[in-house]
Amino acid sequence: MKISYETSSGLKVVAIALLFGLTLFYLVYYSIISYNLVPYGVASPKGQILLMQNITLGGFSWNNAVDLHSNLVLKGSEDYGDYVVFRLITPGWCMDVVVWDEKRYTKKASCVREVTISKYTFNTLPGSYWYLDGSYHLILYRPEGIPENYELVNFTVTYGPKSDWGAFKAAYPKK
């Protein structure tokens, strides 16, 4: 069976048009159709070095502690409820939760390894990044003994069914 010149030319044009159409579909429409929300996770700290310091908030003080209020950054655009659970993994470390209520600092939890935080405690900025409100402080420290320089501190943060890890190296400032 022999195909005429007109038929073979027509098939080539149709094949080229089909290839062009599929490429255009893949480049333009596929990204729109397959849009995925920003997945939940810990954006920071993920292994960064955080300096330990002597912290005083109101009548409370800590030696060789790390305050995560400006270092904890989460990401995500899905809604899994109203609470986020922060859990310390590294043995020997604990955390205090201190909140500024426009008049004074109040300690909400003392030397705990797990705390449940309202998702409304986070400021959500464009790009789906969550930052702890400036009045909310998670103070991580070793209640007994002196932390080693560059000691790795691991934790998990869970929001609904999603969980992610975070970590930082606690370091002494250079003198």
Better pLDDT: 38 or 136: 136
pLDDT of the residue at 25: 79
Q: Distance between CA 175 and CA 173 in Å, rounded?
A: 6
pLDDT of the residue at 16: 92
Q: How confident is the model over 100-127, as pLDDT tens digits?
A: 988 999 999 999 999 999 988 988 876 6
pLDDT of the residue at 20: 87
Architecture in CATH of 41-171: Sandwich (2.60)
Which residues on neighbouring strands pair with residue 129, listed in sequence order? Answer: 75, 125
% of the chain beyond a pLDDT of 70:
94
Confidence bin at 80 (pLDDT 50/70/90): confident
pLDDT of the residue at 154: 96
pLDDT of the residue at 7: 85
Residues in contact with 104: Cβ distance below 8 Å, sequence separation at least 6, in sequence order: 58
Domain boundaries, the chain: 1-35, 41-171
Give the pair of three-digit tokens for residue 113. 């390894």
pLDDT of the residue at 86: 96
Residues in contact with 88: Cβ distance below 8 Å, sequence separation at least 6, in sequence order: 94, 95, 113, 114, 140, 153, 154, 155
DSSP secondary structure string for all residues of 28-57: IIHHHHT--PPPPEEEE-EEEEEE-EEEEE
List the single range of 5-9, 32-36, 169-173 with lowest mean pLDDT: 32-36
Distance of CA 171 to the CA centre of its chain: 21
